[in-house]
Amino acid sequence: MIDYSSPSLVSVEEMNAFIGGAFGGNQNACEVMSFAMAVAVMYPSVASLRPGKIISGPTVFSICDAALFYAALSATGMEPMTLTSEMSIRFLRPARGEVIRARATLNSIGTRSIVGSVVAYTDDESKPVAVAQGTYARPKKNPAQ
Amino acid sequence: MIDYSSPSLVSVEEMNAFIGGAFGGNQNACEVMSFAMAVAVMYPSVASLRPGKIISGPTVFSICDAALFYAALSATGMEPMTLTSEMSIRFLRPARGEVIRARATLNSIGTRSIVGSVVAYTDDESKPVAVAQGTYARPKKNPAQ
Amino acid sequence: MIDYSSPSLVSVEEMNAFIGGAFGGNQNACEVMSFAMAVAVMYPSVASLRPGKIISGPTVFSICDAALFYAALSATGMEPMTLTSEMSIRFLRPARGEVIRARATLNSIGTRSIVGSVVAYTDDESKPVAVAQGTYARPKKNPAQ
Amino acid sequence: MIDYSSPSLVSVEEMNAFIGGAFGGNQNACEVMSFAMAVAVMYPSVASLRPGKIISGPTVFSICDAALFYAALSATGMEPMTLTSEMSIRFLRPARGEVIRARATLNSIGTRSIVGSVVAYTDDESKPVAVAQGTYARPKKNPAQ
């Protein structure tokens, strides 16, 4: 059972310092971290917009992926080699707005993989632009260490 | 925006009467209906069990699919030709128990399709055995009618 | 790189003997096994049919899941604890017919997980009724053994 | 039944002219078009790379999404309002390389939606870095026109 009221094992500041250093071209930031939950935020560049100023599907995917990564680390501590193994996304309405956020909540935390669900939204969280679910593969323990 | 506090457009009794008539071999029942939310319940047959008395993956899928169908009809009224167009499911832990339930919540209700998220569980809803998301395609309006 | 021309590590006969013993209620059989590929076949029961004699979605899911399981074992040898960790399925047309088959082909064979793609069809493989992709989690190696 | 030997209804040149005009920030190009099949190619920018020069997951998603879009238009003709409604992706191995391609093949072409499967690869198509499946929603016919 996941205790969503526990504190995050990684702070927002630690998370942003990590991604700023490691991911030079990263366009999003971590905004909220609590245990097994995180919010990612992005101000899309012009290159991320489609005709009609709609935020592109891959951009929406990227913010969902980031939020799930943050949520995973909130529950495991900093494991930078945690990698997405799979994700599915459903686009619900055109993503219009100056800013996009994604809220990820973990559904299970295993020794090998972590599963979570994500809701992406622009102005109004009650009108999500996409929902996603995905799995992170945790790094293999090295028995020699 | 979905008003989850509205009443369901189909009652539990109507839902069970419909599936009992149309789906002779149906092993599950509708237990709860509110607007854009439904719970399906199943007492798995021996044929649905794997070694270790684990409820099989396809059986877990079937209860998720049923719950999403009920949730879709809760928001559209009885549209029996609503069909699953796609679903993805993640299995979180072995499904042990005498009974399995799935709770589906809609994420969007469009004129052509409906998207929802599902959590399946046996004894303890806080330890889900699977999560799923899927899309229902609504019947085409016949302009000649 | 997967050598699809290698022989299967498990024969059709071994596969069917295994599922007949372990899965008493199993409605499908393995029809073809080659390395990283398998075909599962099912003659759906009346309980699996929907109005219009359409094979139900969960039944289609179950034959896809079975085919992917067989394909996974074709490449690993008999690892009965291989378990589906996730699967997504898209339903393409109503599944009408007396028999349904699913052909699974592996996309990757890792030490921890196996990914494959599946096509399900009734009379005509060129008109698939569903496509699916999924992941199997391989059993953990027990370092104490 | 899809006739994969038919010619594409949109040429590579038409496709690239369209995306160059409409999608200013687009980083990929269409390389191959035949009926119900397309290849997209991308030379990832530094911003798309993760530590170890691995092409990021969202970048891999974006090339899969583009390939499926091209494949959809190859079979429908230019319908620019075709939109991804859902996609699932599985990451198979780290995406290392100077260039990434995705080959999309359609599984069904309906009046309302189109389903296809995608394989993404860098140097060696026989060692894919990801597989994906997804659905495109076609524009609604306007009965007033």
pLDDT digits (tens, 9 = 90+) for C75-87: 999 987 888 999 9
Q: Rounded to an integer, what distance in angstroms lies between the CA atom of residue C39 and that of residue B145?
A: 44
Q: Rounded to an integer, what distance in angstroms lies between the CA atom of residue B38 and that of residue C51?
A: 23
For residue C62, being part of any structural domain is answered with: yes
Report which of residues D23 and C33 the model is more confident about. C33
Q: Is B24 on the interface with C (CB under 8 A)?
A: yes
Q: Is A5 on the interface with B (CB under 8 A)?
A: no
Provide the percentage of residues in chain B whose pLDDT is more than 90.
Answer: 77
For residue A62, being part of any structural domain is answered with: yes
Q: Rounded to an integer, what distance in angstroms lies between the CA atom of residue C128 and that of residue C119?
A: 6
pLDDT band at D52 (very low <50, low <70, confident <90, very high): confident
pLDDT at A126 over 70: yes
**Closest chain B residue by Cα to residue D139:** B112
Predicted local distance difference test score (pLDDT) of residue C135: 97
CA dihedral of residues D54, D58, D60, D63 (deg, nearest 10): -140
Return mean pLDDT, chain D: 91
Which residue has 């059993």 as its token pair? C139
Burial status of residue B84 (CB atoms within 10 A of its CB: 0-12, 13-18, 19 or more) = buried
Q: Rounded to an integer, what distance in angstroms lies between the CA atom of residue A54 and that of residue A129?
A: 11
Helix C57-76, helix C12-22: angle, nearest 10 = 120
Using an 8 Å CB-CB cutoff, list chain D residues near A25: 45-49
Structurally, chain A folds into a number of domains equal to 1
For residue C1, being part of any structural domain is answered with: no
Q: Choose the closest CB to A135 out of C86, C140, C143.
A: C86
Predicted local distance difference test score (pLDDT) of residue B25: 53
Q: What is the interface size between B and C, counted as CB pairs within 8 Å?
A: 79
For D89, other C-beta atoms within 10 Å of its C-beta total 29
Using an 8 Å CB-CB cutoff, list chain D residues near C124: 1
Decide if B134 contacts B105 (C-beta within 8 A). no
For residue C80, being part of any structural domain is answered with: yes
Nearest Cα of chain C lies from the Cα of D28 at a distance, in angstroms, of 24
Predicted local distance difference test score (pLDDT) of residue C102: 98
Q: Rounded to an integer, what distance in angstroms lies between the CA atom of residue B40 and that of residue B73?
A: 13
Provide the percentage of residues in chain A whose pLDDT is more than 90.
Answer: 77
Using an 8 Å CB-CB cutoff, list chain A residues near C137: 112-113
Using an 8 Å CB-CB cutoff, list chain A residues near C112: 112, 137, 140
For residue C129, being part of any structural domain is answered with: yes
User: Mind spelling out the 3-state secondary structure of chain B?
Assistant: CCCCCCCCCCCHHHHHHHHHHHCCCCCEEEEEEECCEEEEEECCCHHHEECCCEECHHHHHHHHHHHHHHHHHHHHCCCCCCEEEEEEEEECCCCECCCEEEEEEEEEECCCEEEEEEEEECCCCCCCCEEEEEEEECCCCCCCC
Arithmetic mean of pLDDT, B92-113: 95
Predicted local distance difference test score (pLDDT) of residue D45: 84
Q: Which of A113, A60, A66 is nearest to A85 (CA)?
A: A113
Q: Is D86 on the interface with A (CB under 8 A)?
A: yes
Decide if D64 contacts D89 (C-beta within 8 A). yes
For residue B142, being part of any structural domain is answered with: no
For A108, other C-beta atoms within 10 Å of its C-beta total 20
For residue B116, being part of any structural domain is answered with: yes
Per-residue exposure over C95-130, b if at least 16 CB sit within 10 Å of its own CB, e if not: bebeebbbbbbbbbbeebbbbbbbbbbbeeeeebbb
Arithmetic mean of pLDDT, A24-44: 88
Predicted local distance difference test score (pLDDT) of residue C140: 80
Using an 8 Å CB-CB cutoff, list chain A residues near C113: 85, 137
Cα→Cα distances D106→A44, A55, D120, Å: 31, 25, 15
For residue C4, being part of any structural domain is answered with: no
Provide the percentage of residues in chain D whose pLDDT is more than 70.
Answer: 92
Which domain range does residue A50 map to?
12-137
Q: Is B84 on the interface with D (CB under 8 A)?
A: no
Predicted local distance difference test score (pLDDT) of residue C25: 53
Q: Rounded to an integer, what distance in angstroms lies between the CA atom of residue A86 and that of residue D129?
A: 12
Q: Is C113 on the interface with A (CB under 8 A)?
A: yes
Q: Which residues pair with C107 in a beta bridge?
A: none
Which residue has 């075909």 as its token pair? C39
pLDDT tens-digit map of D103-126: 999 999 999 999 999 999 999 999
pLDDT at D141 over 80: no
Report which of residues D26 and C63 the model is more confident about. C63
- Lowest mean pLDDT: which of A118-122, D25-29, D59-63, D72-76? D25-29
**Closest chain B residue by Cα to residue A106:** B131
Q: Choose the closest CB to B131 out of A92, A107, A127.
A: A107
pLDDT tens-digit map of A100-123: 999 999 999 999 999 999 999 999
pLDDT at B37 over 60: yes
Indicate which CATH number applies to the domain containing C96. Answer: 3.10.129.10
Name the 3-class secondary structure at D88.
strand
DSSP-derived pairing of the beta strands D54-55 and D49-50: antiparallel
pLDDT at B127 over 80: yes
Q: Is B36 on the interface with A (CB under 8 A)?
A: no
Report which of residues D100 and C27 the model is more confident about. D100
**Closest chain C residue by Cα to residue D113:** C92
Name the 3-class secondary structure at C142.
coil
- Lowest mean pLDDT: which of A22-31, D4-13, D66-75? A22-31
Distance of CA C136 to the CA centre of its chain: 11
Q: Tell me the HSE value of D136 on the side-chain side, using a 13 A CA sphere.
A: 32
Cα→Cα distances D127→B14, B144, C27, C108, D32, Å: 52, 51, 35, 8, 20
pLDDT at C145 over 50: no
pLDDT band at A144 (very low <50, low <70, confident <90, very high): very low
Decide if A137 contacts A82 (C-beta within 8 A). yes
pLDDT at D143 over 50: no
Q: Is C86 on the interface with A (CB under 8 A)?
A: yes
Predicted local distance difference test score (pLDDT) of residue A145: 37
Nearest Cα of chain A lies from the Cα of D5 at a distance, in angstroms, of 30
Residue-wise DSSP of chain A: ---TTSPPSS-HHHHHHHHHHH-TT--EEEEEEETTEEEEEE---GGGEETTTEEPHHHHHHHHHHHHHHHHHHHH---TT-EEEEEEEEE-S--BSS-EEEEEEEEEE-SSEEEEEEEEESS-TTS-SEEEEEEEEPPPP-TT-
pLDDT band at D19 (very low <50, low <70, confident <90, very high): confident
Residue C96 carries which DSSP code?
Answer: B
Q: In what order do the strands lie in the sheet with B130-137?
A: B28-34, B37-42, B100-109, B113-121, B130-137, B83-91, C83-91, C130-137, C113-121, C100-109, C37-42, C28-34
pLDDT at D23 over 60: no
Using an 8 Å CB-CB cutoff, list chain A residues near C143: 143
Q: Rounded to an integer, what distance in angstroms lies between the CA atom of residue A129 and that of residue B108?
A: 9
pLDDT band at B142 (very low <50, low <70, confident <90, very high): low
Does the distance separating the beta carbons of D133 and C133 come in below 8 Å?
A: yes
Q: Which of D39, D44, D71, D40 is nearest to D135 (CA)?
A: D71
